[in-house]
Structure 1
């Protein structure tokens, strides 16, 4: 009898008191539409200046709700909406460039995670388009990096224009924020540049994309530190 009781206590200790797994943070949502670096022509007219655009993304694991965040690139005006669904719509000005992302949330944890950021033009009366702001690829924002054997770090980006008429890329790079030194003016096909750096120093840089119509867009300022 005593042996049975002992076995029961051991069983209860192992299985009855097993701790529940901690809730998992949400996974990153994958964007679907509007397409990256495109002109969105599916907006439903609201009036002469506005159309309602529907956004879609894939469902992500461990996610209870999503926050859609849409920014007018020209005015920096931000619209947000929360939804448990993988689609939502917002009224947007016609002929304006926008960027958008989706933030995943889990009600049981504080962690959130954002999707990639995509850009597009909302269709309107425009016949020419300014370039999209260059997408910074490396170094990542606030990344700590090692210089190479030549005491250099490679900056890289991706530039896009619906008209395919990018004429030049200007790279500003310095220890000041915002960067004040024009490091190089490059051809439209350029997507990287090596810059000289010093260990223990923080640098700031941005990319200005210019097209044949005289339009120019700014990537925004990025920073990195050299180890």
Structure 2
């Protein structure tokens, strides 16, 4: 074979080899299932399976998952699950590349279960087997023993000293104490905590003649706790008056009924006192409940929001001036006859049990309704400037004086109030008012309403009258103070020339004035300003 032929043959082989090499196919990417099979299990390194005495706060660690083919198909993120049930359900996500997770606050001497889950792009690739571990049993302080007062002690101070034995910690750690005290046989109210001493005086005064239960819980720096047993004691009949002004006031009256600054509320001077209290500028009314025979009480310029007089069952008179009351309990004051509430924040007033009330004076309050249906003996009612939208006095047949001015009343039924002699209903929104049954009226003020007609023809004893008829509003005020737009007024001979009638005729010249005598109309159109101010019947 010559050299030329050989070169041709070798060139052909090269072409064939190149052709085959150019047709080689790319290796396909592994599927998800194939990648899962290439993933190694994440393995917990701490705690190990079935480990015991694991601290209640520690860090989980584990070996990262890898690719068994040695290639890098992507990084793994992890989830850790742990809890007291198997399989564990509480899941926590761990960022990519992190192989540890810290926990704290596990319970002592409890068995927990845990596992690690490896994920790629949010898809679970491998789950470790479930491991278990048990937390440390803990070395607890010794139980303190309650030493004072003796169990079931009586006649204890209302601010008693409590004492107990020292607790020790087996590991030599510092022990502190939490003190629990209340009226429950298993007290849950913590009154002091983290105390390093074994004797304290409680920080507040307790109620007198009351049974209390208490216990002490010793705890070390790891949070291991041991409780004492529970004891009880009963306080003596002493009381602390928290408001200094009120306490000084009472002590000045009843020096013999005090033990230091605490009131001996069963002292005869206290329980038998039946006179009057006049108290000013106090912030707390606690202590008033011990004066069960008190008959008259005045609180003025006081700053408490609640007043409970349910223990003051002999109370006849109650006066509260300029206060911040939002709650008032007089449900047990069945003897109450006189009630005054001036300037409070009360939004309601319950008088259903106060059937002996004769006088009510409530001013500058915030209630919109006043129920007087259970107060049949009521003689005098003053309820002005109290935001009332309705007032029912139909059950108050003995009512003689009524001042309901400066409210939001649109109607007022006085048909059952035959004894009424003084009526002030000015500054409301009344459009009509029937006075036909109120023949004893001697004083009548209905100024600044929306009345188009007034009939006072049967009020023959009327001596004082205020109607303020006209157009417009009181002193430039708007709604709520309109002058009565009268078109007709019926009068009797006694008041036909009253200055208010004359003024009304001047302001409303088209207003008709009818005059009656003994129930019979004697003039259909009367002008009190005619004939030089003497008055004249224009139309008989």
Q: TM-score, normalised by structure 1?
A: 0.40
Flag the structure with higher strand content.
Answer: 1
Query: Comparing both chains, which one has the higher relative contact order based on Cα–Cα distances under 8 Å and sequence gaps of 6 or more?
Result: 1
TM-score normalised to the size of structure 2? 0.17
Look at both structures and tell me which one has the larger radius of gyration over its CA atoms. 2
Q: Counting helix residues as a fraction of each chain, which structure ranks higher?
A: 2
